[in-house]
């Protein structure tokens, strides 16, 4: 059995790998050595299994060099200043704000209209209708909840609006004593950026044509939700010192009713509960086009270095990695990316719900202008905004009013828009 070479990538190691040379592979032939760079230093055993499966399928492949980093985006962005950043690599999420850069670093995989016939969610890394990376798995965002807690509170189903959620929280806290919603203030608020499309598609374009902090706009909707939850006392007592792992156990134990997570987290939480059927996933408390929306996104996106000297092998590996055969999507408790690999339940979910993408599908120019304006206003990180909102709701005597904070953001946005006309 070949020993996996899992390197914890630092800038020191990056300089060392740049000195390595790999034997040339005949153009169009699958074989030789491949370097794969990932954000998963925890997945050594899984990668070894993937390597074995890939070599079995393609016996001419001699070796796979795995390199991983826990601070992936920072490390790989530095490495991409050279041509040596692996043959296949995870696309850094930090590039999403400047999609025009994809073509400078990644090999084009095809056009959106062609690839979406075979794969799900092909717009995670796209520019000018060209795809530069494909999801490693598909996850569904929503509220993970403990059904037993809802039943004890007399709640028959998860709410589908903010007002209904607040009523549900009131019932839960008064009848069960459980905390209705655990915010995970320090670790998970940023994930709500992926939920914005559930509250309104093309929200970035709408923001550039108006103000994202006006009533009814997606960011404002999420802000209002958190303010009302915090002001109503429906969240953890001291969110600043909250603990993510503890929140999962509290949910499993019925001391917390719901948290915002993804389908990939279900198995972990279910394993903490005596009856895994109690832990379920529901859509966000909002409707889109008259139905509940199903926000889907990728926990990772994989692409090919445009400078690779082993293109055929890189293409074959990417296809194998995202297939059910590799086991990577299953390890993440995610949905397969290749459409023909979906089971009946997964097909029904995608066919019956209003599917929205957590990754923006808006025009690249719109995304880049939005990022520039949001950066000037200081809301590029949704986490910062939601933390401020929670603080205002919990500690009104120590902060400006919520109304004043919203007005401050509205004025700052209007000015930044003028600065980026």
3-state secondary structure 185-240: CCCCHHHHHHHHHHHCCCHHHHHHCCCCCCCCCHHHHHHHHHHHHHHCCCECCCHH
Token pair 């074995």 in the structure block, residue: 52
Q: Round to whole Å and give the CA distance between 24 and 310.
A: 8
Taking the model in full, what pTM does it have?
0.72
Residue 80 in any domain: the answer is: yes
Same domain, 272 and 318: no
> Among the three residues 315, 342, 369, which one is the final residue of a domain in this structure?
342
**Total domains present in the chain:** 2
- Assess if residue 146 is contained within a domain: yes
Are 230 and 145 in the same domain? yes
CA distance 122 to 195: 18
Domain boundary among 296, 328, 362: 296
Same domain, 287 and 232: yes
Whether 145 and 288 map to the same domain: the answer is yes
- Residue 14 pLDDT: 44
Are 234 and 255 in contact by the 8 Å Cβ rule? The answer is: no
Residue 357 lies in a domain: no
Q: Does residue 409 sit within a domain?
A: no
> Residue 53 in 3-state DSSP?
helix
Q: What is the pLDDT of residue 277?
A: 83
Structure token digits, residue 305: 């270095």
User: Which parts of the chain register pLDDT below 50?
Assistant: 1-19
Range of the domain at 283: 140-296
What share of residues in the chain are helix, strand, coil (percent, to 5)? 45, 20, 35
Burial 359-396 (b: 16+ CB within 10 A, else e): bbbbebebbbbbbbbbebbebbebbebbbbbbbbbbee
* CATH code: domain of residue 124: 3.40.190.10
288 and 303 inside one domain:
no
Find out whether 94 and 77 touch, Cβ atoms under 8 Å.
yes
- Asked whether 76 and 303 are in contact (CB, 8 A), the reply is no
Distance CA(297)–CA(337), nearest Å, equals 10
Whole-number mean pLDDT of the chain?
Answer: 89
Residue 42: the pLDDT is 86
Closest CA to 205 of 24, 368, 29: 368
| Domain's final residue, options 288, 309, 342 | 342
Cβ-based neighbours of 162, under 8 Å, separated by 6 or more: 221, 224, 225, 228, 285, 286
pLDDT of the residue at 27:
81
Residue 159 in tokens:
């709410």
> Would you say residue 108 lies in a domain?
yes
Whether 13 maps to a domain, the answer reads: yes
What is the DSSP pairing of strand 130-135 with strand 110-111? Answer: antiparallel
d(CA 145, CA 259): 7
Distance, in Å, from the CA atom of 133 to the CA atom of 118, rounded to the nearest integer, reads 14
Burial of 174 (0-12, 13-18, 19+ CB in 10 A): exposed
In a domain, 398, yes or no: no
Residue 348: inside a domain, yes or no? no
- What φ, ψ does residue 336 adopt, rounded to 5°? -60, 150
pLDDT digits (tens, 9 = 90+) for 216-250: 999 999 999 999 999 999 999 999 998 889 999 99
């Amino acid at each position: 059995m070949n020993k996996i070479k899992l390197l914890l990538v630092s800038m020191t190691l990056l300089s060392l790998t740049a000195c390595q040379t790999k034997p040339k592979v005949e153009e169009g032939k699958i074989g030789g050595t491949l370097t794969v760079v990932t954000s998963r230093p925890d997945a050594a055993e899984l990668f070894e299994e993937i390597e074995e499966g890939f070599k079995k399928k393609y016996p001419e492949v001699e070796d796979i060099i795995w390199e991983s980093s826990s601070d992936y985006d920072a490390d790989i962005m530095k490495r991409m200043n050279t041509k040596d950043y692996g043959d296949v690599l995870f696309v850094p999420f930090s590039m999403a704000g400047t999609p025009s850069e994809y073509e400078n670093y990644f090999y084009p995989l095809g056009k959106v209209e062609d690839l979406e016939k075979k794969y799900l969610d092909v717009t995670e890394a796209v520019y000018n209708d060209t795809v530069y990376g494909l999801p490693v798995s598909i996850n569904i965002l929503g509220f993970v909840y403990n059904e037993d807690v809802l039943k004890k509170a007399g709640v028959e189903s998860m709410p589908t609006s903010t007002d209904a959620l607040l009523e549900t929280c009131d019932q839960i806290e008064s009848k069960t004593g459980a905390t209705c919603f655990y915010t995970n203030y320090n670790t998970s608020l940023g994930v709500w950026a992926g939920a914005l499309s559930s509250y309104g598609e093309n929200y970035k374009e709408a923001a550039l044509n108006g103000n994202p902090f006006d009533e009814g706009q997606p960011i404002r909707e999420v802000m209002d939700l958190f303010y009302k939850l915090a002001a109503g006392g429906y969240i953890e007592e001291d969110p600043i010192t909250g603990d993510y792992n503890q929140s999962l156990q509290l949910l499993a134990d019925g001391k917390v009713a719901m948290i915002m997570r993804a389908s990939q987290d279900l198995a972990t939480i279910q394993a903490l509960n005596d009856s895994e059927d109690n832990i379920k996933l529901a859509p966000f408390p909002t409707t889109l086009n008259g139905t509940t929306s199903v926000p889907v996104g990728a926990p990772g996106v994989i692409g090919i270095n445009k400078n690779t000297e082993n293109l055929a092998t890189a293409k074959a590996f990417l296809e194998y990695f995202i297939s059910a055969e590799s086991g990577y999507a299953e390890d993440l408790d995610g949905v397969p990316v290749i459409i023909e690999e979906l089971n009946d339940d997964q097909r029904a979910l995608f066919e019956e719900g209003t599917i929205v993408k957590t990754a923006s599908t808006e025009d690249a120019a719109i995304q880049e202008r939005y990022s520039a304006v949001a950066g000037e206003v200081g809301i590029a990180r949704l986490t910062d905004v939601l933390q401020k909102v929670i603080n205002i709701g919990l500690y009104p005597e120590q902060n400006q009013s919520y109304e004043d904070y919203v007005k401050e953001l509205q004025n700052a946005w209007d000015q930044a828009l003028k600065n980026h006309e």
